[in-house]
A = this chain, B = another copy of it.
Amino acid sequence: MLDAVLGELEEAGYGGLTMERVAERSGVHLATLYRRWRNAEGLIVDVLGEIGTREVPIPDTGSLKDDLRALASEIAGLYARPRYRALVEGMVAAAVRSPAAAAALSEVFAGRNRLAGRIVERAAERGELPPGTDAAAVIAAVGAPFYYRLLIQRGQVDDALAATAAAAAHAAALSGAFTPPAVQDP
Contacts and interface: CB of A to CB of B under 8 A. Distances in A.
Main SS class of interface, A: helix
A180 B174 CA distance: 20
A153 B109 contact: yes
Interface string A164-183: 10011111101111101000
A169 B141 CA distance: 10
A144 to B, nearest CB: 4
A154 B13 CA distance: 22
Nearest to A14: B96
Which of the listed residues A90, A168, A175 has the most CB atoms from chain B within 10 Å of its own CB? A168
A110 interface: yes
Interface string A51-94: 00000000000000000000000000000000000000110110
Interface residues of A, number: 44
Interface stretch (A20-28, A29-37, A98-106, A118-126): A98-106
Contacts of A143: 148, 152
A15 B97 CA distance: 5
A148 B78 CA distance: 17
A145 B169 CA distance: 11
How many of these chains are in the complex? 2
B93 A13 contact: no
A137 interface: yes
Contacts of A153: 106, 109-110, 140
A83 to B, nearest CB: 15
A90 B97 CA distance: 9
A108 to B, nearest CB: 9
Contacts of A96: 13-15, 89-90, 92-93, 151
14 contacts: A89-B96, A105-B152, A140-B148, A143-B152, A144-B144, A147-B151, A160-B180, A164-B178, A167-B172, A168-B177, A168-B178, A169-B172, A170-B175, A171-B174
